[in-house]
Amino acid sequence: MPPTTQLGARGEQIAVAYLTDVGLRVLDRNWRCREGEIDLVARDGNALVFCEVKARRGLGYGHPAEAVTFAKQRRIRVLAQRWLAAHDEHARDVRFDVVGVLVRRGQPAVVTHLRGAFS
């Protein structure tokens, strides 16, 4: 597995553990369709949360969460519609979160959870 793929998988593992610890229930991971992939889908009370996870080893290219550009946000919205159409999950609210994970060798991971990062 290439190092960037390993970093992404590790970042998602860390994000799932974090989200679970703060009370979210993960419903789906790495859901794919023709238009792309949703990293995580979770339930937070009455809200259905579509979550993009970005992991980095350093801040040389900015904070990991900054990698979720406007184009990526637009794609996640489309993917959320596809996921909703394919699943029998209902929610009063839908939310888009971003979890940035900074993974540095020999140090604990730093998780930044941006709730409602975009709409």
Pairing mode, strands 93-102 and 47-56: parallel
pTM, entire model: 0.93
End-to-end CA distance of the chain: 34
Rounded Cα gap, residues 109 and 101, in angstroms? 7
Tokens (6 digits) for 97? 């979160």
Choose the CATH number for 3-118 among 3.40.1350.10, 1.20.1250.20, 3.40.50.300, 3.40.50.1820. Answer: 3.40.1350.10
pLDDT tens digits along 76-119: 999 999 999 999 988 889 999 999 999 988 999 999 999 999 99
Around 53, how many Cα atoms within 13 Å sit in the side-chain half-sphere? 28
